[in-house]
Amino acid sequence: MTRIFRTRRLSRVFVAAAGAAGLVLTGVAGVPAVAQTGIPPVDQIVHSPNIRQIANIPKQAPFNTTAALGTDIAFTQDHAIVGNYDGFVIYDVKQPSKPKIVSQVLCPGAQNDVSVVGDLLFLSTDSSRSDDSCTSTALPASNAQAWEGIKIFDISDLANPRYVSAVETDCGSHTHTLLPDEKTDSTLLYISSYAPAANLPDCQPPHDKVSIVQVPNKAPQDAKLIAEPVLFPDGGNVGGDNPDGTRRSATTGCHDLTAYPEKDLMAGACMGDGVLIDIKDRFNPRVIERVQDNVNFAFWHSATFNNEGTKVIFTDELGGGGVATCNAKIGPNRGADGIYDITGAGDDRKLEFRSYYKISRYQADTENCVAHNGSLIPVKGRDIMVQAWYQGGISVWDFTDSANPKEIAWWERGPVSATENITGGSWSAYYYNGYIYSSDIQKGLDVLDVRDRATAPAKSVKYDVFNAQTQPRYGR
């Protein structure tokens, strides 16, 4: 979700025509929906026939308030770790149909995106706090004593995570991407942050860089900031108005960085720019290609490589994740994915635009909906992705033909509210060891099972750890 800077309509529910439309409708308690045209009722579940929900665990106290937004997910062994604006939750998912909460850690500091390596958990803090502890209070970012950055936890005992240390970084840590550094037996965290202003002592313009934090694997208490490489020495996209009047974001840092370590590549979604980065020298990342879309993209939000490392999916988070953009007015090319092929070799590699992809189901005016976090479904020889669309739900789609992407399966709930704009829906939807796990902002953890010929081979692919922004290679 974008950092909030501090200071033809397709009917989705036709019960009488559900068979013909290929829809399956499930009530909150398994009761069929009442026939209607338009938007399904609040919390009503609708989905394609080839995907179903097998579990849900609602948010539990103290994370059961509307303001306690569920965020990103990381996986280790048989556990899913879900961030929350108020901390994080560890789930046992050994039995995907019966997940259990192992522990909850109260540690306020939006967004609290998470990643994990070995016995270490990393937590991004991108809101101004009184200090780096888990008992901190909110402070204005204009206060020079305010703290933002990355926190580190020891999770060797998943039932009792232990806070270890923290590192402050300029403009905080909106998201972060980890890379192993075997030479020094450490983990490198590439911190993405943005939105500087002259009145913010710890977030001064220009801010065209990323922060690299080094965490010694055996001494995480000694973590430190080691580099701040500038990605845009000549400045990024200056921003402005798109032809349709929507606002295009200026580049003042990056929102998300996704690494493909085996390929020595990183893709950066940097507000107004999409970039391809050579990371062969882990401490000195080099931008080798940069693209802009000054017609349809408003905010370059995240990136995903295909398994061969020959394509990148960039997402456009039009409206910052809090606006209804899945409708006829906005159309199919804004708030969408941009599919780019990587052509050429070495420093001559280029990002070549091929097409947009956006869900075709229109959403209610009270439903925030836009392209958001997803991951590959590991099918050798095919490019298939599962993706969250906030209140637009979850889409499984194939981009093997970059110019002609197509949806395979979908699942969603009706609005959080029929009358109010309440931020909700799937923040992140990732495929892990045979199932789709979704962090719903308001509804907690959802587990889905997709059963389709196209995705069936993925059932046999297993990982011990998974961080969506550090892509592994499958099908060797």
Could you give the CA distance from residue 427 to residue 112 in angstroms, rounded to a whole number? Answer: 13
Q: Which residues are CB-neighbours of 284 under 8 A, at least 6 positions away?
A: 227, 229
Residue 246 is predicted with a pLDDT of 78
Instruction: Give a yes or no: residue 473 inside a domain.
Output: no
- Collapsing DSSP to helix, strand or coil, 20 comes out as helix
Helix (H, G, I), strand (E, B) or coil at 460: helix
Contact 455, 396 (CB under 8 A): yes
Give dist(CA 181, CA 216) in Å, integer: 9
Cα–Cα dist 129/122, whole Å: 17
Do residues 378 and 396 touch, judged by C-beta distance below 8 A? no
Q: Which two tokens stand for residue 471?
A: 């892509």
pLDDT of residue 2: 72
The answer to whether the peptide bond before residue 206 is cis (omega within 30 degrees of 0) is: yes
Residue 1 lies in a domain: no
Q: Find how far residue 239's CA is from the centre of its chain.
A: 23
Grouped pLDDT means (10 residues each) for the chain, 476 residues: 44 30 44 47 97 98 97 98 98 98 97 98 98 98 97 98 98 98 95 97 97 98 98 95 85 98 98 98 96 96 98 97 96 97 98 98 97 98 98 98 98 97 98 98 98 98 98 90
Q: What is the pLDDT of residue 38?
A: 67
Segment holding 289, helix H or strand E: strand 286-291
pLDDT of residue 24: 56
Q: Is 320 helix (H, G, I), strand (E, B) or coil?
A: helix
pLDDT in the model for residue 350? 98
Query: For residue 325, is it left (φ>0), alpha (ψ between -120 and 50) or beta?
Result: alpha
Residue 136 lies in a domain: yes
Q: What is the pLDDT of residue 11?
A: 29
Cα separation of 378 and 366, whole Å? 34
Q: Residues near 349 by Cβ (< 8 Å), separated by ≥ 6?
A: 276, 288, 289, 342, 343
Alpha carbon 379 to chain centroid, angstroms: 21
From the CB of residue 97, how many other CB atoms can be counted at a distance below 10 Å?
11
Domain assignment present for residue 7? The answer is no
Q: Could you tell me the two tokens for 151? A: 């926190």
- What CATH number did the domain enclosing 123 receive? 2.130.10.10
- C-alpha 265/C-alpha 269 separation (Å) is 13
What is the C-alpha separation between 204 and 91, in angstroms, rounded? 38
Neighbour-count burial for 110-125, b at 16+ CB within 10 Å, e otherwise: bbbbbbbbebbbbbbb
Quick check: is 476 in a domain? no
Query: What is the C-alpha to C-alpha distance for residues 396 and 188, in angstroms, rounded to an integer?
Result: 31
Q: State the residue range of the domain holding 316.
A: 15-467
Residue 6 belongs to some domain of the structure: no
Q: Report, in angstroms and rounded to the nearest whole number, the Rg of the chain calculated over CA atoms.
A: 21
- Name the burial class of residue 337, with classes exposed (0-12), middle (13-18) and buried (19+) by CB atoms within 10 angstroms of its CB: buried
- State both tokens at 46: 């609708």
Structure letter (DSSP) for residue 209: B
Quick check: 408 and 50 in contact, CB under 8 A? yes
Whether 287 is in a domain gets the answer: yes
Listed residue (428, 413, 245) closest to 321, CA to CA: 428
Look at residue 245 in the predicted model and tell me its pLDDT. Answer: 78
Q: Tell me, yes or no, whether 5 lies in a domain.
A: no
Q: How many domains does the chain have?
A: 1
Residue 5: what pLDDT? 38
Give the whole-angstrom CA distance, residue 122 versus residue 114.
Answer: 6
